[in-house]
Structure 1
Amino acid sequence: MKKARFLVVLLMVFVFLTLPELGKATDEEVTVTQEHSLPTVETAENLRNLLKESQSSRTLLGQGRVYAVDVTLGSVNKSAQTVDEAAPSSANFDMTTGNSGHSTTNLQVAGVDEADIIKNDGQYIYQVNQQELIVTQAYPANQMHILSRIGFKEGEFTPRELYVDDHYLVLIGNTYYPETSPSYAPKVQPQVKGASQVQIYPPVWTPFTTKAIVYDLADKSNLQKLREVELDGDYVSSRKIGSNLYLIANKYLDTYRIMEQGEEPPLPSYRDTAGQGDFSAIGYQDIRYFPQSIEANYLLIAALDLDQKDKEMQVAAYLGSGQAVYASASNLYVAVTQYQQVHQSDPAQPSPESAAEAQPASNSSSKLIPGSLTTTTALYKFGLAQGGTTYKAKGEVPGTILNQFALDEDKGCLRIATTTGQIWRTDEFTSKNNVYVLDENLQLTGRIEDIAPGEKIYSVRFMGDRGYLVTFKKVDPFFVLDLKDPTAPTILGALKIPGYSDYLHPYDENHIIGFGKDTIEVSQNSGPGSLTVEAGDSTAFYQGLKLAVFDVTDVAHPVEMFKTTIGDRGTDSELLHNHKALLFDKERGILSFPVTLMEVANSSTANSRNGFPDYGQFTYQGAYVYHFDLVKGFTLRGRITHLKDEDILKSGQVYLNSSKAIERIIYIQDTLYTISPEMIKANDLRSLQEKNSLILK
């Protein structure tokens, strides 16, 4: 009887203690379960074991007794920041214009802001200019002057890009803390939050942090700092939706020091002046990891609501990494490439009958296949809530992605375009291109594989029920995809033309503008001075910039409706690598971007010594301003430069004076502004006549 009473009392105590937690789980429902379904690192020893596991062979590749060794890399791919979201709806394809009378940053997804080096609000221009933040009153043009400038000491904080809204300016960059510096914060051992009792960990000695500084824009001539937040590791990317800011950083783990020298694994940390202001370490019990996908890297995702000035930012830490970032209005996706070296068993050795009997790849019965790497893209999905993020799902697809535009969310599904293999191979490991559709849990629902074997993806754009894919090796196949049925995506049509597009921009639901390079195909058997293409082996050489408009009204038979080229071999534009360099306004017919022009001095298109096309010589850098419509196509209205004639004469073969290179073009009302580190120039939007200029340096 006493034993029964004891059990009843024990049960009542258990219910009393767990009722609050049960209620909490009910309120947050599935998201808490999914977040908590990820295991935690817990201890330093367990972290070492996880890192050791990641270095072992773990994948059986099927018939032929082929095995793979995981050689996951922990380094950060900074070039994949452009980067960056769901496709625009058919009702709003113009991502750069607004009815407010001024241009905005060219975004992948309407309503999901991306940081840039230049922002404007219809009167003021905000600029990251080397080690300075400069605020300029730009409109009206005849009153243009610098309102304020804030400098940062080189080597301490490097500003990289910014956000601006009606109330706040957020400046994002990297802070460097030398490992030997005694002044590096935290100066004292940080307390670990979330633990049942106070635990003390050694200081986190890390060279780089990602810092965001929030300023009040009430007085633009005297910006007031409201807040600083800082994340351990290097800056990957960010997004801003309304007043909610999301930051992503990577903190690399030195496996040699941890595994071979026995050093204590460093803990990731962060600080927020809205809280204590000191660095707080994230304990092992709060660092989660993805089973079967361990990486020597901490992925940190921070979220804060700028309107809640006193609420400390939320930071989540994962044993993983991020390269490309894509965000819709409700979800954030982080993609990372994983590499595996392929081994094949020796046919002279007896074959195991099952995977359980298979020898590891390092065994003498297997051999390395030279030059063969298999790649997969791991995808992590996080829900975006008011000032917070929640892990939702993990998925994986074969191949690597090009950039943020290879990802797109539509009707709850994620579409992703990848390339597998290597373009230079001619065996079973040759490059192939694929499009996968994943459901809300990142499980595969549909696929198109083996597109354009021997080529690789140069640009992707998803638009509602359609997708557009450009691959290239010698010619540019432009593919039109039907994605209406997520379980059965198909290719509707294709167009093969010379050249390729690095960036695709929607004009409307039936017309796509491509920005890339023109190409010329040269037979390898051609004699000196000859560019004749013969049957057999040939090589494609890129030439000048190419602008093209693809008409996909007849999806089965897309056509190149208009095209124009700029310069000769070597001509380049930041737009080919960064979509934010484009100014496009459909209603006004404005299309403008910076160009570094290279031109061949004579009319010959080939080098007489070897038959290959010459590189041009630098002749110009500045903004090309076009009018574009579907009647006349591309009409060059004019060019604007910040260079003087003597600058071009001094330049030689290439242009190296980047301080005068135009980086962005914007408009405010009736004025077009070109912006370089040294100058802002204002020109009339209609006539392009110069109105005013302002020297910044």
Structure 2
Amino acid sequence: MKRIMLFGIILLTMTIFPVFKSLSGANAEPNHTATFIIDQRTYVTDNQAKTMDATPFIENGRSFVPARYLALALGVPEDKIIWNSSASTLTLVRDNVTISLAVGGNTIYINDQPFTIDAAPTLRDNRTYLPARHIAEAFGYDVAWDETVRAVLIGPPGNLPEASQDVLPSVGTYENLKDLLEKSQSSAFYGRMDEMVTTPGTILRTAPSAVQEKAASAAPAAAGESLSDNNAADYSKTNVQVEGVDEADIVKTDGTYIYQVNRERIIIARAAPPEAMEVVSVLNYTGKDFSPQEMYVDDNHLVVIGNTRTYGVYPLYNESGSSSGLKIMPPYNYYRPMVKAIVYNIEDRSNISQVRELELYGNYVSSRKVGQSLYLIANKYITFYPGREIEDPKPMYRDSVVSDSYKEIDYPSIRCFPDFVEPSYLIVAGLNLDQPEEKANVSSYLGSGQNIYASTENLYVAVTGYSYARKLANDLVPPSDLSRTKIYKFRIDQGQVSYAASGEAPGTILNQFSMDEHDGYFRIATTSGEVWRSGTHTSQNNLYILDSGLNMTGKIEGIAPGEKIYSVRFTGDRGYMVTFKQVDPFFVLDLSDPQQPAILGKLKIPGYSDYLHPYDENHIIGFGKDTVEMSGKVWGGRPDDTTAFYMGMKMAVFDVTDVSNPVEMFRADIGDRGTDSELLRNHKALLFAKDKNLLAFPVRVMEVTESGYNNGSTVPEYGAFAFQGAYVYNIDLTSGFTLKGRITHLSDEDYLKAGNYWYNSEKDIERIIYIGDTLYTLSQQMIKANQLDDLQELNSLVIK
């Protein structure tokens, strides 16, 4: 019986749809392509991105698409989409083909000839939805379904569009850009937006190039001196997330020289031997309209990344709805924020020469360097108001290898992320430092990025948006999960960047360490919901595993309800997660099976870890804060409330040899409430060398010297300023943390002036590095060299 019914369905399909094509094909040429993705507002027609104000859905195995957008994609003119509200019928006319059908009816009329269809048009939220396959085939199109991306593919016979995520649609035209932006503002997905600063009345001019300058304050290096003279092969490198993927920082060393971002300058100092430390060069950008932020260094190149700007004039515009049509907004000047990378050749330290500049319009997101390939990412927010012209509608860049002028990226070359989160351009650039005459590879996408993760082969850009369910009256309804993180994947190779895939995961991410790639799979840890809410709306933490196409393959959801993620670290087949609200649950995750990740064990202890660093495959170091848990009865809050108060800095070594029973093996505390370290926010501030049993980082120590409480209150008191500088430890699995000593650049007079408080000064130590047997600490005013074994001071170099 089942076989007969199935044969009947197949026969019905074969009977109806060839008739559709025979009726329509001779009169209306199917010459468009379209892709509609289920549950997404962005669709693609003729390889151009469009946005709908409603989303396709699946019901009873059929795909339904908003009627107006389906008709337009099939080439039906706007004025030939005719809706009869009293009869609830829709008529579509294209060339000599007329299609009529009624909501709820299973009959479709093609040039007045009736046919039965197995899916009726339907109304949802006052929108008419049509069964995509029936309508498209009635106009003579081929239709297919792509399960991988859950998309309906429509195209002329034998010419269906590619549903592969390797290809993104184009923005296409200025008018289409405006339409995309306008409809995105009314969609149910919003991101966090950064405002562009504008300066009315600023004089129009072009930002000058930053030109290197030699400092006359120190003797230059010997003529022809290069890194080949370097005998100090053992030196520290920037603490990075992925081995083989360098990250920019404010201090770098090549084993002989130290490079430092220092007050609008790059200081280059010969550091080895420490007894002869001297500044040999200064790249001074004062007055050059360029502010250096961080840099990369290798044997041959110094790359300085920073902020600059150029200027533009916002044009006159007509106010939307103005009856006079007069231009009522006067032009004004504004500056365009630019991120700039300046590449220098440093083979000869006595004669550093500038090689090239690359500027991207927008704000700096991040960068990575893999071998000799540099990758630079910027966000350019699009200022857009419906009815007005767009300020600087095209992204632009400047590559000095090609021209000293700015080049706009035209609309056909701008790609569009599906359901982009923010009205922004994401600009991604790559260049090969070993090919100085080769132009940069620059691409732009309608979309944005907030956090970056990179492996040696792929670059991932993540951005979080917030979705809202709406009632018919358009008032917001707070669902349990408001947030989703979009992930965009790019292949990187020798400075070339190409879009590869996109995906998403529920919730928000903490930082770059929330993401990881391993054996072709992408892992991401998120927090959804809100800590301050209760019931089904409270926060929960999740782990998702996506395949190479960013399709979900495995997940763990609902970890530590009511808490949020404070730190994550992935190492091979394991993951480690710290959540916190009042105590610190430390979770060990098994990720060996991408389809079935699992929690192996957990440990609950006071405090939390902001940063996790692998010691070896069975031991993890956590850096964070200690906490004291108090009830509302004690500190004056609601009697049924319990609150954790942050205390001093805390370090711990977690032993995960027995994965089902992780143990806090060692612990060390620094200072009292108010103690802080950049390491808790920036992993690059850590110096760790396992082979030397060395651990060091900058810290500001606050100490309670008397009662420990503030004016008799039971709330823990903030400490008074006691120290700023480097804490240097020996670390091993026998003794744990052993404080070797402390190094400061502050004088006794500075400590006397400080009183109870200390605000950042140019004498605050920012980074600690080593070269050979010497430990170097760096502040904006000094480089100090100490013997590594006993911390005896060897020399100091004052930077003026």
Q: Same fold (TM over 0.5)?
A: yes
Which residue of 1 is the match for residue 683 of structure 2?
579
Aligned match of 2:723 in 620, 629, 634? 620
C-alpha distance in 2, partners of 1:335/1:370? 24
| 1:100-249 pair list within 5 angstroms | 100-154=233-287, 156-179=289-312, 207-249=336-378
C-alpha distance in 1, partners of 2:334/2:442? 19
Q: Tell me whether 605-614 or 516-525 shows the greater mean CA deviation.
A: 605-614
Q: Name the TM-score, length of structure 1 as normaliser.
A: 0.81
Instruction: Give CA-to-partner distance per residue, 1:213-261, whole Å, 9 cap, x none.
Output: 01111221331101111111111100001110000000010122xx242
Give the residue type in structure 1 aligned to 2:767: R
Change (3 A) 1:527 1:287: closer
Which residue of 1 is the match for residue 494 of structure 2?
386
1:233–1:251: 8 Å Cα contact kept in structure 2?
yes
Aligned match of 2:394 in 267, 270, 275? 267
1:44–1:265: 8 Å Cα contact kept in structure 2?
no
Change (3 A) 1:643 1:283: same
Using the TM superposition, give the Cα deviation of residue 367 of structure 1 relative to its aligned residue in structure 2, in angstroms: 3.8
**Sequence identity, in percent?**
57
1:471–1:500: 8 Å Cα contact kept in structure 2?
yes
C-alpha distance in 1, partners of 2:760/2:452? 32
Answering whether residue 611 of structure 2 is matched by residue 503 of structure 1, we say yes
2:783–2:798: 8 Å Cα contact kept in structure 1?
yes
Answering whether residue 169 of structure 2 is matched by residue 39 of structure 1, we say yes
Change (3 A) 1:295 1:140: same
Answering whether residue 445 of structure 2 is matched by residue 311 of structure 1, we say no
C-alpha distance in 2, partners of 1:653/1:176? 40
Give the residue type in structure 2 aligned to 1:392: A
C-alpha distance in 2, partners of 1:577/1:294? 26
Aligned match of 1:433 in 541, 546, 557? 541
2:170–2:416: 8 Å Cα contact kept in structure 1?
yes
C-alpha distance in 2, partners of 1:37/1:497? 48
Answering whether residue 709 of structure 2 is matched by residue 606 of structure 1, we say yes
Answering whether residue 204 of structure 2 is matched by residue 71 of structure 1, we say no
Which residue of 2 is the match for residue 416 of structure 1?
524
Instruction: Give CA-to-partner distance per residue, 1:173-217, whole Å, 9 cap, x none.
Output: 0102344699xxxxxxxxxxxxxxxxxxxx997521110101111
Which residue of 2 is the match for residue 64 of structure 1?
none
Answering whether residue 763 of structure 2 is matched by residue 660 of structure 1, we say yes
Using the TM superposition, give the Cα deviation of residue 538 of structure 1 relative to its aligned residue in structure 2, in angstroms: 1.4
Q: Tell me whether 575-584 or 206-215 shows the greater mean CA deviation.
A: 206-215
2:481–2:528: 8 Å Cα contact kept in structure 1?
no
1:600–1:614: 8 Å Cα contact kept in structure 2?
yes
| 1:318-333 pair list within 5 angstroms | 318-333=445-460
Aligned match of 1:556 in 654, 657, 660? 660
C-alpha distance in 2, partners of 1:76/1:138? 42
| 1:20-99 pair list within 5 angstroms | 37-57=167-187, 69-75=188-194
1:664–1:675: 8 Å Cα contact kept in structure 2?
yes
C-alpha distance in 2, partners of 1:479/1:370? 30
| SS of the residue 2:176 aligns to | helix
2:589–2:599: 8 Å Cα contact kept in structure 1?
yes
| SS of the residue 2:182 aligns to | helix
Q: Tell me whether 270-279 or 305-314 shows the greater mean CA deviation.
A: 270-279
Which residue of 1 is the match for residue 576 of structure 2?
468
C-alpha distance in 2, partners of 1:102/1:33? 49
C-alpha distance in 2, partners of 1:451/1:527? 29
C-alpha distance in 2, partners of 1:432/1:179? 46
Instruction: Give CA-to-partner distance per residue, 1:514-543, whole Å, 9 cap, x none.
Output: 000000011111278xx9xx9953110010
Change (3 A) 1:645 1:282: same
Instruction: Give CA-to-partner distance per residue, 1:313-352, whole Å, 9 cap, x none.
Output: 0101000111100000100000001112344xxxxxxxxx
1:76–1:323: 8 Å Cα contact kept in structure 2?
no
| SS of the residue 2:589 aligns to | strand
C-alpha distance in 2, partners of 1:219/1:247? 26
1:402–1:418: 8 Å Cα contact kept in structure 2?
yes
| SS of the residue 1:646 aligns to | helix
1:500–1:516: 8 Å Cα contact kept in structure 2?
yes
| 1:633-644 pair list within 5 angstroms | 633-644=736-747
2:614–2:620: 8 Å Cα contact kept in structure 1?
yes
C-alpha distance in 2, partners of 1:625/1:392? 44
1:591–1:628: 8 Å Cα contact kept in structure 2?
yes
C-alpha distance in 2, partners of 1:280/1:573? 42
Instruction: Give CA-to-partner distance per residue, 1:145-198, whole Å, 9 cap, x none.
Output: 00000111357101000000010000000102344699xxxxxxxxxxxxxxxx
Aligned match of 2:695 in 568, 591, 600? 591
| SS of the residue 1:54 aligns to | helix
Using the TM superposition, give the Cα deviation of residue 295 of structure 1 relative to its aligned residue in structure 2, in angstroms: 2.8
Change (3 A) 1:273 1:581: same
Which residue of 2 is the match for residue 9 of structure 1?
none
1:118–1:127: 8 Å Cα contact kept in structure 2?
yes
The answer to which structure, 1 or 2, has the higher relative contact order (CA under 8 A, 6+ apart) is 1
Using the TM superposition, give the Cα deviation of residue 636 of structure 1 relative to its aligned residue in structure 2, in angstroms: 0.2
C-alpha distance in 2, partners of 1:446/1:664? 39
2:313–2:333: 8 Å Cα contact kept in structure 1?
no
Give the residue type in structure 2 aligned to 1:476: D
C-alpha distance in 2, partners of 1:72/1:680? 42
C-alpha distance in 2, partners of 1:522/1:260? 55
Give the residue type in structure 1 aligned to 2:283: I
Which residue of 2 is the match for residue 524 of structure 1?
632
Give the residue type in structure 2 aligned to 1:629: D
Which residue of 2 is the match for residue 191 of structure 1?
none
C-alpha distance in 1, partners of 2:549/2:593? 17
Using the TM superposition, give the Cα deviation of residue 656 of structure 1 relative to its aligned residue in structure 2, in angstroms: 1.9
Using the TM superposition, give the Cα deviation of residue 472 of structure 1 relative to its aligned residue in structure 2, in angstroms: 0.2
Give the RMSD, CA atoms, in angstroms.
Answer: 2.4
C-alpha distance in 2, partners of 1:527/1:405? 35
1:582–1:593: 8 Å Cα contact kept in structure 2?
yes
| SS of the residue 2:679 aligns to | helix
C-alpha distance in 1, partners of 2:396/2:797? 42
| SS of the residue 1:396 aligns to | strand
1:157–1:174: 8 Å Cα contact kept in structure 2?
yes
C-alpha distance in 2, partners of 1:169/1:616? 42
| SS of the residue 1:51 aligns to | helix
Give the residue type in structure 2 aligned to 1:594: P
| SS of the residue 2:756 aligns to | coil
Q: Which structure's CA Rg is the greater one?
A: 2
Using the TM superposition, give the Cα deviation of residue 386 of structure 1 relative to its aligned residue in structure 2, in angstroms: 1.7
C-alpha distance in 2, partners of 1:220/1:389? 32
Change (3 A) 1:619 1:371: farther
Instruction: Give the unaligned 5+ runs of structure 2.
Output: 1-161, 197-231, 316-331
Aligned match of 2:422 in 295, 309, 313? 295
Using the TM superposition, give the Cα deviation of residue 274 of structure 1 relative to its aligned residue in structure 2, in angstroms: 1.2
C-alpha distance in 2, partners of 1:260/1:683? 64
Give the residue type in structure 2 aligned to 1:336: V
Using the TM superposition, give the Cα deviation of residue 689 of structure 1 relative to its aligned residue in structure 2, in angstroms: 0.6
User: How many residues were matched structurally?
Assistant: 589
Give the residue type in structure 2 aligned to 1:168: H
Using the TM superposition, give the Cα deviation of residue 264 of structure 1 relative to its aligned residue in structure 2, in angstroms: 5.8
Instruction: Give the unaligned 5+ runs of structure 1.
Output: 1-31, 58-68, 78-98, 183-202, 344-360
C-alpha distance in 1, partners of 2:282/2:479? 52
| 1:530-545 pair list within 5 angstroms | 537-545=641-649
Q: Tell me whether 503-512 or 426-435 shows the greater mean CA deviation.
A: 426-435
